Every structure is written in C-alpha cells, then in structure tokens.
Chains A and B, each alone.
Chain A
Amino acid sequence: EVQLLESGGGLVQPGGSLRLSCAASGFSFSSYAMNWVRQAPGKGLEWVSDISVGGGGTHYADSVKGRFTISRDNSKNTLYLQMYSLRAEDTAVYYCAKKLTGYYTFDDWGQGTLVTVSS
C-alpha cells in the first residue's frame, strides 16, 4: 500500500523559512516523479512544484518560483520542499503527491501538513 507522510509544517513568521518532508513507502520511490500541491484554508487546490525521478528536473508555479526549492533523497525515500521568504498567502495545507506514470496527474496523495505564516 502506498503511503505518503508529510511533516514539518507549523507556524512561521512572514519572511521566515520552513522545510517540509514527505516520507514515502509501499512503492519504488526512485521510479516516480513527485509533486507538492497546496490548499489554502477554505480554498481550492494549487499545484506548487514537481521533481523528476532522479531529481535533475524541477518545475515551479509562478507564485513560488525563486522562493521554494523541491528536492528528493531516493536513498531515504523522502521528498522535500524548502520554503524561504514565506508570505501570509503561503498559508495552506501542503500535500505531497505521486505522479501517475504516463499521465499529467497524481494517483496518490499524502494527508497533508499545515503551514501557517503569521506574526
């Protein structure tokens, strides 16, 4: 059974930094591209970033480009999202999601971790 377990969320001041982790199990992590998707309180889903199987290819939504960095450690089956210069509008539940091979979509989602940016 695929399991994706996010951690690292919490309360951070505007301008601060935070690193999220997503521990994967139940599948061959190194064989799948991975993503981060977020959901602001009471709002819809917003794709944040993706990373290729080897980690050499990354893409970001314009809203986080230059402030967030996605990475992965295939030896630890873990996905990361390093967030810098956080803003109030970054407040959201952050989900890690596994890409469905052959399709531009996500077939497994974690339970999410809440990031709150507030003074």
Chain B
Amino acid sequence: QSVLTQPPSVSGAPGQRVTISCTGSSSNIGSGFDVHWHQQLPGTAPKLLIFGNSNRPSGVPDRFSGSKSGTSASLAISGLQADDEGDYYCQSYDSSLNGYVFGTGTKVTVL
C-alpha cells in the first residue's frame, strides 16, 4: 500500500555512514512536495527527524542529513551509533491521493 519505496534494511558498523533511499513518483516527490523523515526506535512512537527535505528539528544531531532530487530523496546517518537502531520512514504528500504518504520503512542495524 505504501506509495514511497525504501530498502527494507541497511546496516553499518559504529562510526560508519549509511544512506537510505526513498523513491516516489510524479504525483508526490516529483510534484515538488517536500520529503520528511521519521525515526521510530524500538517500542516507541515515531519522531520527526528531518522536515522540508533537509531541515533538522531542534535537538536532532547534525549526524542526520537529508536531500531530495527529482522523484527521490535520501537520508544519511554519519557516525553511526548503537542507539540509532530502529526503523526510518520517509513521508510526503500525494496530489492524486489527496493525502499524506509514507515510505515502506527501512530497518537500520548497527553491527
């Protein structure tokens, strides 16, 4: 049902950099709608991580960065830490569905 496609999982050693892709279409990301990222740590509610493609809310470390190009976006986590383990979701708006859409989610594992 998800309109935005993400890789199911990514992994990296502590300190490494990982990236998560998010692929949409011409009715959402490609239409100019912003991409946002939400982090969901195990057993907790989601938390806004990146908004407006590349902006970090107050309190989010600059290890997290976002970018957007065309119909895709990506989230980068540098200096990977053990407590970064969890699920990450991209999110946008879709003009055909007239609603918010989420990515399929990516599980980040720290080796």
A residues with a Cβ closer than 8 A to B are 35, 37, 44-47, 50, 59-63, 95, 100, 103-112
Contacts and interface: CB of A to CB of B under 8 A. Distances in A.
B105 A45 contact: yes
A35 B99 CA distance: 11
Given A105-B36, A109-B46, A112-B45, A100 B51 contact: yes
Nearest to A97: B46
Interface residues of B, number: 28
Interface of B: 1-2, 33-34, 36, 38, 40, 45-48, 51-52, 57, 87, 89, 91-93, 97-105
A18 B67 CA distance: 40
A107 B49 CA distance: 9
A46 B36 contact: no
A37 B100 CA distance: 10
Q: Main secondary structure on chain B at its contact with chain A?
A: strand
A34 to B, nearest CB: 12
Contacts of B104: 44
Given A37-B100, A60-B99, 10 more contacts: A45-B102, A45-B105, A47-B99, A50-B99, A59-B98, A61-B99, A95-B45, A107-B51, A110-B45, A111-B45
A44 B45 contact: no
B52 A35 contact: no
Nearest to A106: B48
